[in-house]
Amino acid sequence: MNKKLKDILFQNKVVILFILLCVGATIASKQPLTFVIPELFTRIARNSFIVLSLIIPVIAGMGLNFGIVIGAMSAQIALFLTTYWGLTGFGGFLATAALATPFSVLFGYLVGKLFNHMKGSEMIGGLVLGYFAEGIYQFIFLFLFGGIIPMVNTKLMIPTGVGVKNTIDLKDTVKYALDNVPMLTILEVGFYLFLIGTVCSLAFKVAKKQEINWKKTGSTVAAAVVVYGISFIGPVERFLSADRLLLLSAVELCCLLTVIVQAAQFVKAKLAAKSEEGGEPFNTKKALGYIAAAAVVYGLTYIPALYKVLIMVKLPVMTYLCIAALCVFNNVLLKTRLGQNMRTVGQSRAVANASGINVDRTRIIAMIFSTVLASWGQLIFLQNVGTLSTYGAHTQVGQFAIAALLVGGASVQKATNKQALLGIVLFHTLFIVSPLAGKELFGDPVIGEYFRVFVSYGVIAMALAMHAWKKAVKPAEESEEQEENKEGVHPMAG
């Protein structure tokens, strides 16, 4: 047990260190949780998507993708163009994402091709490539727009007419375009997309002459119709008309859904037991455990201090759904053939080649995925901030996203959704409270600013140093073990 505990502590040393730093800095800042927690959830909504875009290249063995800054640049080029054309609202946001996608696919393909010529040095290559792309980006915004491509817009262009202004206000275009999508609209669109998907699935099965489980399909469609029908009830419709969801309401809904899901599984198990096919037995202890946990969580909401925090946080529903969708996508991708190929390539390129996997192609696809997702993540970030810093919004995207991923316990060789989300919480908690803690402890908030910059660079340096150490030490250890095994073999053996 002691050895297990030591192993757990050693494996999670970075996470534990940052938890202690966050707790200490929060106490030192003397700020109430009613300030820290709402600000933290705002930052989670802004930054999660772009941090999660880093996971696929890590799985494919390409390390930490410092090249996501190129995806951010492609998003900013598309955003400038749609702003110039006057596209606004959620439609404008979707048009910007659609325009950024081919840019980021092209850039991701080129980056992937380059990385295939520098295997093992992708991280330093991505860092240098980001600086190279910065030069091209500035050429586009300082000379191409207005100089070669005629553009007349006093709000976007500098007075000479050649070059783009340093800051572009997105207030009248796509500010909060994603955050402000009402829950009712999300439900309606989701319902119609579900119906379209079901019809397409049935048509495909009929065309392929595959067996269709009409009973299961009918019950699923009926459940969707019931859920959609409930939205027409007055109080429910008024509740769903909002675009933000109180954290208190989110907790209550999660507790209620837990109970409903367990009850549904119980009914399903009973019906399956009565049928000829049978089914898996219902795990009563597990179900009661989930229900008890839900009851405890619900009971905690009545604690006055916690209640004050929960009613202060308003979650932009559509933004958090996009983050959840990316988490699901990352998990589903790993279960596909492409995902398994990426994992194999990440573990050993030699084994992947021997298995018939096109290593170079798989790596390029991983880089395209990461660059496209990074461009969408940058759009989510900018629509929430509400302003585009033309020449500075992308500069520290890679650094802060990679630092957040590493703080959650990820490494150059391994990264998961859980590590990414945990890292975002810890890194941005420290980001919020460190200047305030510096002001309280030393009378100067700049010290806190220096500290968090030091942390972001320091955690990256530590991860790269550990990666280099493992690459140097592990082969030596393996060779020593082989020597020991040879010496320990009996002369008559074999």
Of the CA atoms within 13 Å of residue 241, those in its CB half-sphere come to 7
Return the pLDDT at 490.
46
Report the alpha-carbon distance of residue 231 to residue 225 in Å, rounded.
10
Report the alpha-carbon distance of residue 470 to residue 121 in Å, rounded.
15
Please, which residues bridge with residue 315 across strands? 245
* C-alpha distances out from residue 62 to 28, 67, 163, 226, 413, Å: 39, 11, 36, 46, 8
- Check: CB of residue 398 under 8 Å from CB of residue 57: no
Return the pLDDT at 342.
93
Report the alpha-carbon distance of residue 355 to residue 313 in Å, rounded.
50
Return the pLDDT at 489.
47
- What is the 8-class DSSP label of residue 168? E
Of the CA atoms within 13 Å of residue 12, those in its CB half-sphere come to 13
Please name the residues in contact with 162: beta carbons below 8 A apart, sequence gap of 6 or more: 142, 143, 145, 146, 147
Question: Does the pLDDT of residue 255 top 70, yes or no?
Answer: yes
Interval 448-492: pLDDT, tens:
777 767 776 777 777 767 666 666 655 555 455 555 555 554 444
Return the pLDDT at 25.
86
Q: Are strands 314-316 and 387-389 parallel, antiparallel or unpaired?
A: unpaired
Beta-carbon count within 10 A of 61 CB: 24
Helix (H, G, I), strand (E, B) or coil at 169: strand
Interval 145-162: pLDDT, tens:
988 888 888 889 998 888
Return the pLDDT at 403.
86
Report the alpha-carbon distance of residue 202 to residue 319 in Å, rounded.
31
Report the alpha-carbon distance of residue 97 to residue 174 in Å, rounded.
11
Report the alpha-carbon distance of residue 43 to residue 315 in Å, rounded.
11
The average pLDDT across 291-318 equals: 92
Strands annotated E in 224-335: 244-246, 314-316
Average of per-residue pLDDT values in the chain: 86
- Residue 418's φ and ψ, nearest 5 degrees, are -60, -45
Helix (H, G, I), strand (E, B) or coil at 491: coil
- Residue with the bigger pLDDT between 183 and 12: it is 183
The average pLDDT across 284-301 equals: 90
* C-alpha distances out from residue 147 to 20, 160, 164, Å: 53, 10, 10
Return the pLDDT at 459.
73
- What is the 8-class DSSP label of residue 443? S
Return the pLDDT at 7.
75
Please name the residues in contact with 265: beta carbons below 8 A apart, sequence gap of 6 or more: 282, 287
Return the pLDDT at 475.
54
- Check: CB of residue 403 under 8 Å from CB of residue 459: yes
Question: Does the pLDDT of residue 1 top 70, yes or no?
Answer: no
